[in-house]
Structure 1
Amino acid sequence: MGQKGTTRRIPAVNRGTGEIVQLELLGRETFQQEGGERNPVLPGARYDWQPHPGRHVNVAKALMRKVWHKDSGYRQNDRDIFGFFVAHSPERTEPLRMTFKEIAQTLGIRPDTVARSVGRLHAGGLLLEAEKVGRMRFYRINPRAAFDGSASEQLRAVQDARFPVVPAPRTPPTPRKKEAS
C-alpha cells in the first residue's frame, strides 16, 4: 500500500473580506503566510472575465426573483431602471450621479418614465435617496438588494438600509398642474 499524501486544505474564500482566493495548482511562491507556516493562504483576487473585464456585483437572487415576477407590482421599465443602476452605479454606497434625462437618453425612454420608475423603486426600498443637490436627488442601490464591494463593506452598509419590499407599494399619483382657463 502506498503512503497517504499530505495535502493541505487551502481556504477558497478570505472570510475577512469575502473575496475569492486565487487558486494556484503549481508552486507555492505566491502564498502569503497568514497564521504561520501551517496556514498558507493565497492573496485575494477579483475575477476578470474576458472579453468584458471589471468589477462584479453581489445581487440578492431571491429578492430579484420576486422583483422580476409578473405579479411583483414592478413594471418592465422599473426592472430596466433597476438593472441600469446595478450596471452603472459606482462602488459601495456611492449614488449614481446621473440625471433622469441622461438615464432616459441612454435607455431610449422618456425622462418622466425614469422619474416614475425611480419613484416606485424608491418607495419599494430598492433604491435609496443618497444626496440632494439643489432640486436634484441622487439615488443609490440598497445594499440589501445589490452591492459592489467586499462582504465586510456590505455588512457595514446594510446596517442603516431598510428592507426592500415586494410587491411594490403603490406610489401616490403626482398632482398635475392646473391649466388656466
Structure 2
Amino acid sequence: MGTARRLLDADTGEIVPYAPYAFSGRHTQVDKARVEAITESRAFTPSQKFLVLWWIGVSPEGMEPLKATGADIGQRVGMSTDAVGKINRKLVKHRILIVRGRIGNYKFYRISPYIAFHGTGIEQREAIKTCNPPDIPGFDESTPARWEAK
C-alpha cells in the first residue's frame, strides 16, 4: 500500500488543502472561444446553438458517441425528429459534431473534441488528432475569447 500523496505549496512547502468539487455529475473541458464564436455567429439559428449546448452536455467520455436516435434526442429536447436531423447534419457539415459510429443508415454523433471533451488533457490531445477543427464562420483561432480576463 502506498502513502497518500499530498500537494505542497512550491513557495512555502506547506500542504495545500484538498477540496472535492462541490458540483454534481461529470465535468467537461470547453473551448470558450469556440463556444463564444458559435453562439455569436449569425450562421447558426437559435435552435442550432441550443443543440450545440445540449451536445456539449451529453457527449460521453472520451470519443464515444451518444447512442441515441433522432427521435430519442427530439423527445429529450422538445424538437421534431426531422428538426434534430436537419440541425445535426448542419453541425456535422461545420465539424461541430462528428460521426463516431453507425448502425445501418443511422449515424451516432458526439461534439467535436476541439469544442468540448470529457477526459484528461493527454486524451484530448490524442482525440483532436482524429478529426479536423470545426469550421465556425467568423472564428479566428489566434484571437482569444472576447470576455477573457486580461
2:37 and 2:44 map into 1 onto residues whose CA distance is 10
- Aligned CA RMSD, in angstroms, stands at 2.1
Report the TM-score when normalising by structure 1: 0.65
Which segments of structure 1 move beyond 2 Å, counting only runs of 4 or more? 47-50
Q: 1:167 offset after TM fit, Å? A: 1.8
Residues in 1 aligned to 2:80 and 2:14: alpha-carbon distance in whole angstroms: 55
5+ residue gaps, structure 2, are: 1-10, 139-150
> Which structure 2 residues correspond to residues 51-62 of structure 1 after superposition, within 5 A?
53-62=24-33
Pair 1:65–1:90, CA change in 2 (3 A): same
Partners of 1:106 and 1:87 in 2: CA distance: 13
Higher relative contact order (CA 8 A, sep 6+): 2
> Does residue 1:151 correspond to 2:121, yes or no?
yes
Distance of aligned partners of 1:154 and 1:118 in 2 relative to their CA distance in 1, 3 Å threshold: same
Which residue of structure 1 lines up, in the alignment, with residue 12 of structure 2? 7
Match for 1:102: what amino acid? Answer: D
Q: Pick from 84, 96, 103: which aligns with 1:114? A: 84
Q: Normalised by the size of structure 2, how large is the TM-score?
A: 0.78
The structure where helix makes up a greater share of residues is 2
In the TM superposition, 1:1-181 aligns within 5 A as: 7-8=12-13, 23-24=16-17, 48-50=21-23, 53-71=24-42, 73-167=43-137
Q: Partners in 1 of 2:107 and 2:45 — Cα distance?
A: 22
Identify unmatched segments of 5+ residues in structure 1.
1-5, 11-22, 26-44, 169-181
* Partner secondary structure for residue 68 of structure 1: helix
Larger radius of gyration: 1
Query: How many pairs are equivalent?
Result: 128
Measured after TM superposition, the shift of residue 49 of structure 1 is: 2.5
